[in-house]
Amino acid sequence: MNRAVQTCTCNIQNRKNRLITKQLPDSKPTDKPLSHSRFGTTTGSLKIRSARKTDIPHLVALIMDAFAEYNLVIDPAIEVPDFLSFEKSYDFRKRHLVTALWNDKITGCGAVTIDGKVAWLSRIYVHTGFRKKGIGTGIMQWLTEMALESGIETIELWSDTRFTDAHRLYQRFRFAQSGRERVLPDDPNNTVEYHFYRNL
């Protein structure tokens, strides 16, 4: 990313006095806590920050790992073209990509796109070796609070029908299935996705 990224660190205090740190580009440093902290807590050495171009190879490998868990094939040019055109895809104003680190190791990611009064969540993945540590909860908390700060009315997402652990995570954040499904065209994995939403 050509423009300098300044850091805004927003802290969420949890039950064990650990912190999630959230970094936003082009903003002045502040210690002000996030305004909406009711979406869960996280333990351990977890940091969530805005993604960087240098993260992309690690994030692609992370998603490949997640796909391998379900014996799915992945062509990054088809599955994550936004990663491969990172600087064009993410302006960090209306479209954000975040990286989760556990003890400074890249272990997860997530994205939010603001479209009018709707926020779309996507790219929510956690490395298979770092599950059950609250990383997914931390990512969802970050993305949800970013959406809320943008004044949206609805948060929506699509999720592969096979990703049942992720579905339980969404439900803990008060997302519901709408009953809508979609089939991805020309997909080698024969992917069908469920639609989830949360009205605010």
- CATH code for the domain in which residue 156 is found: 3.40.630.30
Residue 134 lies in a domain: yes
Residue 171 lies in a domain: yes
- The pLDDT score that the predictor gives to residue 41 is 34
The pLDDT tens digits for 141-173 are 999 999 999 999 999 999 999 999 999 999 999
Number of domains forming the structure of the chain: 1
- What is the model's pLDDT at position 44? 59
85-102 pLDDT, tens digit per residue, is: 999 999 999 999 999 999
Alpha carbon distance 122, 70 (integer Å): 19
pLDDT at 194: 98
60 assigned to some structural domain = yes
CA-closest candidate to residue 141, choices 103, 101, 112: 112
Q: Is residue 181 part of a domain?
A: yes
Spatial separation of the C-alpha atoms in residues 59 and 123, rounded to whole Å: 10
Domain encompassing residue 174: 53-199
**46 domain-assigned:** no
- The string of pLDDT tens digits covering residues 50-74 is 999 999 999 999 999 999 999 999 9
**What pLDDT score does 92 carry?**
94
**Does residue 139 sit within a domain?**
yes
pLDDT over 60 (residue 29): no
Determine, yes or no, domain membership for 98.
yes
